[in-house]
Amino acid sequence: MGGLSIWHWLIVLLVVVLIFGTKKLKNIGSDLGGAVKGFKDGMKSDDEANKQVAHDSKIIEGEAKEKTQTKV
């Protein structure tokens, strides 16, 4: 982890806990977890929608001919 040892990271963690408190950090963690879960659910529903479209689509084979107009 860069040039910092484990003791440096522990001190940084202690300072963060002292500044924000454990309750606020717990709430931030819960909010972040909920956001990640929502993102995953959104991606899953998009994948299912794409699969449904691919499954429902039909291929029409043929050749288009040019329509000629006649003037009367």
- Reply yes or no on whether the pLDDT at 17 is more than 80: yes
pLDDT, the chain, mean: 80
The pTM of the full predicted model, rounded to 2 decimals, is 0.44
The answer to whether 25 and 17 have CB atoms below 8 angstroms apart is yes
The answer to whether 32 and 40 have CB atoms below 8 angstroms apart is no
Confidence label for 22 from pLDDT (cuts 50, 70 and 90): confident
The answer to whether 4 and 13 have CB atoms below 8 angstroms apart is no
What is the domain partition of the chain in residue ranges?
21-51
CA pair distance 41, 16, nearest whole angstrom? 31
* Tens digit of each residue's pLDDT (9 = 90 or more) over 28-47: 889 999 999 988 888 887 76
The answer to whether 9 and 1 have CB atoms below 8 angstroms apart is yes
What pLDDT does residue 36 have?
92
